[in-house]
Amino acid sequence: MNSEKLQVLQSKALDIRKLTVEMIGRLGVGHIGGALSIVDLLTVLYYDIANVDPKNPQNPDRDRIVLSKGHAGPALYSVLADKGYFPIEEIKTLNQPGTKLPSHCDMNKTIGIDMTAGSLGQGLSCAIGMALAAKIDKKDYKVFCIMGDGESQEGQVWEALMYAGNMGLDNLVIFIDNNGMQIDGMTKDINSIEPLDEKGNAFNLHTQRINGHDFEAIENAINTALDTKGKCSLIVMDTVKGYGVDWVASKGYGCHSMSISEEQWRNFCQKERD
Amino acid sequence: MQDTFEMREIYCQSLIEAAKTNKNIVVVEADLMNCIKTGPFKKEFPDRFFNVGIAEANMVGISAGLATCGKIPFCSSFGTFATRRCFDQVFISVAYSKQNVKIVGTDPGICAEINGGTHMPLEDMGIMRGIPQMLCVEPTDSVMLKALMPQIIDYKGATYIRLQRKKAETVYSEGEKFDLFKAKKIASGKDATIIASGIMVSKAVEAREELKNQGYDVGILNVFTWKPIDEQAIIECANESGAIVVAENHNVHNGLYSAVSEVIVANKPVPMESVAVMDEFGEVGKMPYLSKKFHLTKEDIVEKTLKAIKRK
């Protein structure tokens, strides 16, 4: 990745973080930690890789992006608003009565959302259905599914991983946002899902493990996944919950859902680019 | 009299017939292809058939994903596993997401026979009826199933089909017409109306004959679509006969008796009686034994009808 592109992506990721913090900040409380940990991935996907068009959001040939960890919705809403799927002013309506932007992603409320999520563990099965539909129709769109590490404790995730691996769905790329934390504590202390790379390989998935905040690593991993024929890809993203906002990340697992003061979000949104 | 065809034969043939012109029809199974016998569909359309193994949650989720891309997935399992095993997936990925997925639950109620209590769905329609906007239908025999399948395929929305796999008792003759959203009047009666569904319809016909011999004029309404329920037809029966008996192969709670009561209470209160499983778990046995054990016989319908008439 050349330095110019890297700078563009870094700058875009900061914009998205600011929007995310503002959106949740204006409400005063929300799932900020797990939203911030996927911002860098969303930035690479939406501004570098995925074939999506805000002017034609229902294009049947578009790439699909399923945010299975639906509570990170505000990060995705920030991207969609920034890309022009809906007016940026709408971010002020998060969770307000009658909003199009609910806590958890809803495909029937928000333009640009490909699958409803919120009850954890369900998105990957849906993403598999989308990938199978592409195979039936001989279309070459890709499906990207973003899951959480805590979410991966759900049994359905493993039903789905097994089937995706066995079917060799090379048009499906699965990400696990491995920030190591869940509501009640550290994932490793509650019910560890590691070793994720070994599990991925054992499920016959083309598995990569990367730093989920390294833009170049994310881009390379996705391109490698898309170049790998006959195998479904799993990319384990080692991330930091609350990444990019010190007063969020420093809360540890407490940042899964936390209160944010007006002073906090306004200060962060004035932050200059490094 | 038993049907000429098994319900599953008609189900699969209808899917194949429709799929010849409708390329969006797909079938998703969870290791019960050989029970519901969708093998011929797989043979005809191998690219549109998926078997996910024993993983009903995944089956339902995959079906939802296929539906987001315009496919019309039919997925099936025994009624127990097609509903309670994957309830949240049906609720969120299918219904809440407004996806056009058809879920087929087989072996309703006591039809599960020697598979026993673990496999005996006496609550499936109650579970599915509780999901907003879920269409819930229980075709009575092969003639009705054949007539309803194209309507079910054309209907855009989450659907639960409660389906006997094997031969049903024949109620209708070839050529009979059905509207998916209209209850089917079998007979009018001024003393009481038996509202029935599934295997209880043929028993209601027999019960009516016996009641006729005793001097009573009893009507029958086949409410095969439990939701959205045909309110008008039910109200007309209440007006016409002044007493209602609901006969269902289901638990008394949350089933057809509950659904009909909701209509009756709000519109035309009349005495009502229920022939249903009275809040019990299923058990192994053949149909004659189970019918007696759970009081789902013709005699039970007669007894409850006389009771309802007495309460008028």
Look at residue A151 in the predicted model and tell me its pLDDT.
Answer: 98
Distance CA B188, CA A3 (A): 82
Which residues of chain B have a CB within 8 Å of the CB of A131? 65
E-strand spans in chain B? 2-6, 25-29, 49-51, 72-78, 102-106, 135-137, 159-163, 167-169, 184-187, 192-196, 218-222, 225-227, 244-251, 272-277
The answer to whether the CB atoms of B93 and A125 lie below 8 A apart is yes
User: What's the maximum distance between 2 C-alpha atoms anywhere in chain B?
Assistant: 59
Instruction: Kindly tell me the burial class for residue B295, based on how many C-beta atoms sit within 10 Å of its own C-beta (0-12, 13-18, 19 or more).
Output: middle
Instruction: Starting at the earlier edge strand, list the strands of the sheet with B72-78.
Output: B49-51, B25-29, B72-78, B102-106, B159-163, B135-137, B225-227
Sign of CA dihedral B254, B255, B260, B263: positive
What pLDDT was estimated at residue A273?
Answer: 53
- The number of C-beta contacts closer than 8 angstroms across A and B is 101
User: What six digits make up the tokens of A249?
Assistant: 């990340």
Which residues on adjacent β-strands are paired with residue B169? B2
- Judged by CB atoms closer than 8 Å, whether chains meet at B47 and A124 is answered as no
Give the integer Cα–Cα distance in Å for A26 and A8. Answer: 27
CA of B74 vs chain A CAs: smallest distance (Å)? 13
Contact list, A135 vs chain B (CB under 8 Å): 47
| Furthest C-alpha separation in chain A | 52
Chain A residues in contact with B91 by the CB 8 A cut-off are 119
* B163 lies in the same domain as B208: no
Looking at chain B, which residue has its C-alpha nearest residue A60?
A: B69
Rounded CA-CA distance B14/B20 in Å is 10
Task: Compare all CA atoms of chain B with the CA of A141 and give the residue at the minimum distance.
Answer: B69
CATH number at residue B110: 3.40.50.970
Of B169, B193, B208, which residue constitutes the final position of a domain? B169
Asked if B65's CB is within 8 angstroms of A129's CB, the reply is yes
Measured between alpha carbons, how far is B147 from B168 in angstroms, rounded to an integer? 15
* Average pLDDT per consecutive 10 residues, chain A (274 residues; last block may be shorter): 96 97 97 98 98 98 98 98 98 97 98 97 98 98 98 98 98 98 98 98 98 98 98 98 97 96 95 60
CB B76 within 8 A of CB B104: yes
Across chain B, mean pLDDT equals: 98
> Under a CB-based contact definition with an 8 Å cutoff, are residues B10 and B32 in contact?
no
- Other CB atoms within a 10 A radius of the CB of residue B174 amount to 9
What CATH number should be reported for the domain holding residue B216?
3.40.50.920
Q: How far apart are alpha carbons A159 and A155 in whole angstroms?
A: 7
Put the strands of the sheet holding B184-187 in their side by side order: B184-187, B218-222, B192-196, B244-251, B272-277
* DSSP symbol at B225: E
Whether residue B153 lies inside any domain: the answer is: yes
Shortest CA gap A219–chain B (Å): 26
Phi and psi at B248, nearest 5°, equal: -145, 150
Chain A residues close to B81, C-beta within 8 Å: none
Q: How far apart are CA A180 and CA B100, in angstroms?
A: 36
Instruction: Provide the ipTM.
Output: 0.97
| Pairing state between β B167-169 and B2-6 | antiparallel
Do B276 and B123 touch, CB atoms closer than 8 A?
A: no
Domain housing B282: 184-307
Considering only CA atoms, which of B275, B85, B137 is closest in space to residue A155? B85
B246 and B151 share one domain: no
In order along its 312 residues, chain B shows pLDDT tens digits of 899 999 999 999 999 999 999 999 999 999 999 999 999 999 999 999 999 999 999 999 999 999 999 999 999 999 999 999 999 999 999 999 999 999 999 999 999 999 999 999 999 999 999 999 999 999 999 999 999 999 999 999 999 999 999 999 999 999 999 999 999 999 999 999 999 999 999 999 999 999 999 999 999 999 999 999 999 999 999 999 999 999 999 999 999 999 999 999 999 999 999 999 999 999 999 999 999 999 999 999 999 999 999 999
Say yes or no for a CB contact (<8 Å) between B65 and A163. Answer: no
Nearest partner of B26 among B7, B54, B52, judged by Cα: B52
Residues A215, A143: Cα–Cα separation, whole Å? 20
Q: What residues of B are in the A interface, CB distance below 8 Å?
A: 26, 47-48, 50, 52-53, 55, 57-58, 60-71, 73, 88-89, 91-93, 96-98
Can you give the pLDDT at residue A91? 96
Check CB contact under 8 Å for A136 and B53: no
Shared domain for B243 and B295, answered yes or no, is yes
Same domain as B87, residue B24:
yes
Q: Which residues of A touch B (CB under 8 A)?
A: 60, 64, 107-108, 114-116, 118-119, 122, 124-137, 155-156, 159-160, 162-163
Look at residue B133 and tell me if it is in a domain: yes
What is the C-alpha separation between A225 and A238, in angstroms, rounded?
17
**Three-state secondary structure call for residue A127:** helix
Distance CA A174, CA A149 (A): 12
CB nearest B97 (choices: A107, A131, A163): A107
| Number of domains within chain B | 2
Distance from CA of B63 to the nearest CA of A (A): 6
Chain B residues in contact with A162 by the CB 8 A cut-off are 53, 55
pLDDT digits (tens, 9 = 90+) for B199-208: 999 999 999 9
Q: Do B61 and A128 touch (CB under 8 A)?
A: yes
Residue B187 main-chain phi, psi, to 5 deg:
-155, 150
B161 shares a domain with B66: yes
For residues B15 and B48, membership in a common domain is answered with yes
Which option is the CATH number for A3-269: 3.30.530.20, 3.30.390.30, 3.90.1150.10, 3.40.50.970?
3.40.50.970
**In angstroms, what separates the C-alpha of B139 from chain A's closest C-alpha?**
28
Same domain? B248 vs B279: yes
Q: What is the pLDDT of residue A272?
A: 64
The H or E element spanning position B268 is none
Angle, vertex CA A19, rays to CA A18 and CA A23, nearest 5: 120
Residue B175 lies in a domain: no
Are residues B212 and B155 part of one domain?
no
B179 within a domain of the structure (yes/no):
no
B177 inside domain: no
Q: Do residues B193 and B93 both lie within one domain?
A: no
Is-above-0.95 flag for pTM? yes
**B162 & B219 share domain:** no
CA dihedral for B39, B45, B50, B56, sign (positive or negative): negative
Last residue of a domain, one of B145, B169, B193: B169
Kindly state whether residues B197 and B163 are assigned to the same domain: no
Phi, psi of A30 (to 5 degrees): 170, 180
User: Are residues B172 and B146 in contact, defined by beta-carbon separation less than 8 angstroms?
Assistant: no
At residue B12's C-alpha, the angle toward residues B6 and B17, to 5°, is 125
The reply to whether B33 falls in a domain is yes
> What DSSP string runs through A210-263?
EETT-HHHHHHHHHHHHH-TTS-EEEEEE--TTTT-HHHHTTGGGGSSEE--HH
C-alpha closest to that of B256 among B80, B107, B129, B103: B129
Residues of A in contact with B55 (CB under 8 A): 156, 159, 162-163
Residue B150 lies in a domain: yes
Question: Domain segments of chain A: what residues?
Answer: 3-269
Which tokens sit at A36? 């911030």
Nearest residue to A221 via CA among A44, A47, A4 = A44
The verdict on residue B269 lying in a domain is: yes
Asked if B163 and B196 sit in the same domain, the reply is no
